[in-house]
Amino acid sequence: MKKTFSILVLSLFFYVLPVLAQQQDRPKLVVGIVVDQMRQEYLYRFKDIFGKGGFNRLQSEGFSLQNMHYNYIPTFTGPGHCSIYTGTTPADHGIIANDWYDRETRGMVYCTSDTRYQTIGSSTTGAGAHSPARMLSTTITDELQLATGGKSQVVGISLKDRGSILPAGHLADMAYWYDFNTGRMISSTYYASALPDWAEKFNARKLMDKYLEKGWQLSMDKKAYNESGPDGSPHETPIAKFAPTQFPYDLLEIASKAANPAIPSLSADVLKYRLGAQSPWGDRLLTEFAMEAVSKMNLGKGAATDFLCLSYSSPDMIGHAFGPTSVEMEDEYIKLDLCLAELILFLDQKLGKENYLLFLTADHGVVEIPNKLIEAKIPAGYADLLAADSILNTRLSRQYGSAQWVLSLNNDQVFLNRAEIAAKKLNLEEVQEYAAQVMLEMPGICRSYSAIRLPSYTGEDWIIKRLQKGFHQKRSGDVLFVLEPGWLEKINYGTSHGTGYTYDTHVPSLWYGWKIKPGKSLIYHEISDLATTLALNLHTPLPNSCTGKIIEELAK
């Protein structure tokens, strides 16, 4: 009996030892940070104005992959967040843009919209009608949940619904985003029937209201902003009607002046919360909420690895209006750096640097405001795609008979009327090729390809390869076109992104904490490599459509 007991104890010892070793061989918490619209060069340009505890700490004490790129077109927020966490491209995960034309409904659909669900956390109808259902692949967060039998906790946090929902995956415990009408953090009945008590108490603090009273002030003397152009450039876009384009910004006064009392959605009470998100206060709100989530959910304290997906949205909203070389963008990154420093210090104290793994990247970059490039005698411009839509429809009518041939022109894609093509017994490939040639004649367009022929192109043409990886056969258009470098669709605001050029594809990739040794690499990597590397380190299966490679510098 005693011998049998000893054998049993010994057997349990040798069984439990590998299990304990495996548990200790994983971080207690993974923190994935996505900065919405961040170019790699910001780490160089703003290095001297950053403090020691944020971006500079991640670079000096962590590992920096300085040549990380997106490998597909188009580079938007939805596809970017999805690609980071699925380890693949829109060709597989299906999020081809933030919104796109849907042939079945004959209208635009949004990447996370889902009318089966309702808002929790506020009374704003439709703000919570979202889910990850349109994402066709699993994420690293999904695979973590599956691998641990649901013991891991996964939470997504962002101002934007898509910035929270897509990274957190299909199996998330919760995803939270910002209600632009009320300033509250909200969610969807996809996840729960109500917000947890701690989140309701957080909303009751009304932090955004307190932030708005302070306005948006510069962090330094204006003369110290040497990494940007002059404040108040004529090419920048006001954040609201009657708003200035230079500091200081009295956000409550701007909301009051821009308000239209006759339209509830344009009341001062609503506009002020939108302005709060379009300022660095959006970063502060998310940082406070993220730290509260870690504390109240006890993230990193359980038996299984937990995952916090945090996406900072304000840089994108500010960047679109003011551009990458504005004083506003420089000040935004100074303040974001302070938020990161506070978050890292909090995690160090809460868990210990050796117990959590943090990575930081971006969902896309941005182009300089084309008018600024033109002033500097650099080729750039604005393509009038509304006129192109009309011209293309006229040309197709001349060629094949009068009809509404173009159903939609969006995201640099043309959706043709396939029902009309079939009714007239036309060859779809022929019509696509003709439409592609017409689009190529438009000012500002340098490439144009038919959807049927695109998959058959071989070789090393980098634009074609990126178009192929962004092309989903069921969801993408009939013609895909590419604008010249430095060109944008004609817009009524500062600048944008979406291309395959380096200003949109080149993003940071910083790694810090658990088992990360200080260093840097200049080797080219693609964004899909992040999920592959995470999965192999977390000992989970790869996301089911993952195409990324291991980042060997981190594996070592």
Query: Which residues carry out catalysis?
Result: 77
Cross-strand bridge partners of residue 16: none
Alpha-carbon distances, residue 267 vs 59, 211, 238, 271 (angstroms): 43, 19, 18, 6
Omega of the bond leading into 315 within 30 degrees of 0 (cis): no
The angle formed by the CA atoms of residues 37, 70 and 36, to the nearest 5 degrees, is: 15
**Strand pairing report for 487-489 and 506-507:** unpaired
Nearest of 133, 87, 172 to residue 542 by alpha carbon: 87
Task: Please state whether beta strands 63-65 and 519-521 pair in parallel, antiparallel, or not at all (unpaired).
Answer: parallel
Give DSSP secondary structure letters for 274-334.
HHHHTSTHHHHHHHHHHHHHHHHTTTT-SSS-EEEEEEE-HHHHHHHHH-TTSHHHHHHHH
Give the angle 140-22-85 at the CA atoms, nearest 5°: 10
Q: What is the identity of the amino acid at 401?
A: G
CA distance linking residue 274 with residue 255, whole number of Å: 9
Separation of alpha carbons 254 and 245, rounded Å: 11
Percent helix, strand and coil across the chain, each to the nearest 5: 40, 15, 40
Helix (H) or strand (E) holding 409: strand 406-410
Contact 95, 137 (CB under 8 A): no
Cα dist from 374 to 371, 378, 424, 471, whole Å: 5, 5, 45, 31
CB within 8 Å of 305: residues ≥ 6 apart? 26, 27, 28, 29, 30, 144, 148, 152, 538
Contact 448, 383 (CB under 8 A): no
N-to-C CA span, the chain: 48
Q: Answer yes or no: are the C-beta atoms of 548 and 530 closer than 8 Å.
A: yes
Cα separation, 495 vs 370, in Å, equals 7
Any bridge partners for residue 445, and if so which? 483
